[in-house]
Structure 1
Amino acid sequence: MDEKMDKSGNVIVDLSFKFALDAIDFAEMLEQERKFVIGRQFLKSATSIGANVREAQNAESKTDFIHKIKIAAKEADETEYWLLLCKSSASYPCKAELLDEVNVIQKILNKIIGTSKSQTP
């Protein structure tokens, strides 16, 4: 983790925050390359992952928590889509490590959803 970042002790909160910081850097690279549309779409979905994870930490109920984590998972899927477009397009830059990071986040979110659903009466 970056020394500027406080660790929360919560793996998904920390990973999604770090990913958002990395996404900002990549979005700025896309902007410099004049790839504005995908750059903005990517930045919105990539930073939304962590925002929804953080919001889930203060959920009003288990159902609300699951709902917010599901939204984060959807945003992670959308983010993966934008990264795959960049990877598959010859005219776009790509950062393979971002794909790796978002895949780890997706797995954790899916595990949280599955575990939370199994614990809901």
Structure 2
Amino acid sequence: MINKPYDLEERTFLFAKDCRLYIKTLTTTISNIEDGKQLARSSGSVGANYIEANEKLGDKDLIFRLKISRKEAKESKYWLRLLQELNPEQKNHSESLLYEIEELRKILSAIITKTSK
């Protein structure tokens, strides 16, 4: 496994970038275009909302932003799974993205749990 950056802002940025690179490899079909747009949006929102969480206005705002980030991670996983099913020739690439988004979701959940206490 490749060493991942400890900085979560950087890690979420790299995930969004890798999703865009993955989308570029897909064949041009209506479903790949539409699902790819959804993945591009949600994957970018994971990091964007995490950055907003770091600029919190209070603990409630922090938790709210982190939950949005986690929600976007779950959505990204959905679109990745759908694209993977329809593009089995890209399975190696999508598998690594699915692994990473699940790791990010777990990290976000852990932060939410610790912050909520």
Q: If the TM-score is normalised by the length of the shorter chain, which range does it land in?
A: 0.7 to 0.9
Sequence identity percentage: 31
Structure with greater helix share of residues? 2
Partner of 2:104 in structure 1? 105
Instruction: Classify 1:92/1:73 alpha carbon distance in 2 versus 1 (closer, same or farther; 3 Å).
Output: farther
CA distance in 2, matches of 1:44, 1:92: 23
- Structure 2 residue corresponding to 1:33, chosen from 16, 25, 28: 28
| Gapped regions of structure 2 (runs ≥ 5) | none
CA distance in 2, matches of 1:78, 1:90: 18
Deviations 1:41-88 (A, max 9, x none): 111001110000011110111110110010000000000001111222
| Gapped regions of structure 1 (runs ≥ 5) | 1-6
Give the ranges of 4+ consecutive aligned residues of structure 1 lying more than 3 Å apart after TM superposition: 90-94
Aligned pairs for 1:2-81 within 5 A: 11-30=7-26, 32-34=27-29, 35-81=32-78
Amino acid at match of 1:29: T
Partner of 1:84 in structure 2? 81
CA distance in 2, matches of 1:92, 1:106: 26
TM-score (norm 2): 0.84
Q: Which moved more, 1:54-63 or 1:92-101?
A: 92-101
Q: CA RMSD in A?
A: 1.8
Count of aligned positions: 109
1:116 aligns with 2:115: yes
CA distance in 2, matches of 1:116, 1:72: 15
TM-score (norm 1): 0.81
